[in-house]
Amino acid sequence: MANIGDVAHDVANYVADLALTKLPRAAAPAFTSAMVKLVDLSIDGKGRLPGVKHVAGRYLARQQEVEPAIRTAIRHHLALAAAQGVVTNIGGAFSMLIGTPANVTGVIVVQIRMVACIAHLSGYDIDDPRVRTAVVMCLLGDQELERQISDHRLPSTPLAVATSPVHDPQLHAAVADRVLTHILADAAGKGLVTTIGRKAPIIGGGVGGVADWLDTMTVSRCAQANLPTRRRITA
C-alpha cells in the first residue's frame, strides 16, 4: 500500500504542474505580478511593517556578531509563525494579492522576511532581484528544492542564482510562480488533518501554530544551508 505522505506529495505536485501548465494564459501575468509584488512588499516593508534591512540591523546591533544575529532572527520569526493571531494580522494586509486566506499569506510573508534577514546578515544584497529569487527558492525547503532542481523545474541552487552574473526577469517571475504554486498545492495536498485540527475546539490554534512553526523551521534550515555567509556586514 502506498504511503499516505507520498500520495499527498504526488497529488500536490500534480496540482502544481496543472496550475502552471493548464491555467489560461490570460491569468498568468496577474498571478506572476502578484507573487513578485508580495516578495517585494515583504522585504521592503509596508506601513507599520518595517523593511527587512531595518529589522536585521536591530538583530545585529543587539548581538554584535552575525551568527548570533541570524539565530535571533530565526527564533523571532519562528515565534511569529507560531502566533496565529499575529500571522493573520500580517497576512491580512497582503492576502488579496495572491487570493489566499490571511493565515496562509501571513506565514509566507513571515518566511520570506526570515530568509531575507538571513541573506542580508550573511552579506547578500537583498535589493538585488537575483537574491530575491534565491530567497523565494528557499521557501521550498531542502528536500523539495533538491527534487525540483533534479527534475529541472528550477535552474540551479539558490546560491548559484543569487551570485549569477546576469539577472533574468522572466526567471525571477517563473521561479516565484512555481514556488507559490507548490506552497499552495502542498498545503491543499497535506492539509486535511491540519485543517480539521485547526477547527477543533481548544486545540485548533495549537495545531496550526505547530504546523506553521515546523514549516518555518524547515525553511530556515534550507536558507542557512543554501545561503552561506559571504562577507561581514555592519549594522
Domain coordinates in residue numbering, the chain: 4-226
- d(CA 135, CA 210) in angstroms, rounded, equals 23
> In one letter, which amino acid is 27?
A
Q: Backbone phi, then psi, for 83, in 5-degree steps?
A: -90, 95
| Global confidence as pTM | 0.79
Average pLDDT over residues 209-228: 91
- d(CA 35, CA 179) in angstroms, rounded, equals 9
**Is the separation of the CB atoms in 61 and 235 below 8 Å?**
yes
Q: Backbone phi, then psi, for 210, in 5-degree steps?
A: -65, -45
pLDDT at residue 48 above 80? yes
What does the pLDDT read at residue 13?
45
Q: What is the pLDDT of residues 66-107, one digit of tens each?
A: 999 999 999 999 999 988 888 888 888 788 777 678 888 899
**How far is C-alpha 8 from the geometric centre of its chain's CA atoms?**
20
pLDDT at residue 22 above 60? no
Average pLDDT, rounded, for the chain? 79
SS3 call for 49: strand
Average pLDDT over residues 28-42: 73
Helices (H), 83-203: 84-92, 95-98, 102-121, 129-138, 142-150, 158-162, 169-199
**Residues 63, 65, 66, 68: what is their CA dihedral angle, to the nearest 10 degrees?**
-50
What does the pLDDT read at residue 208?
60
What does the pLDDT read at residue 104?
85
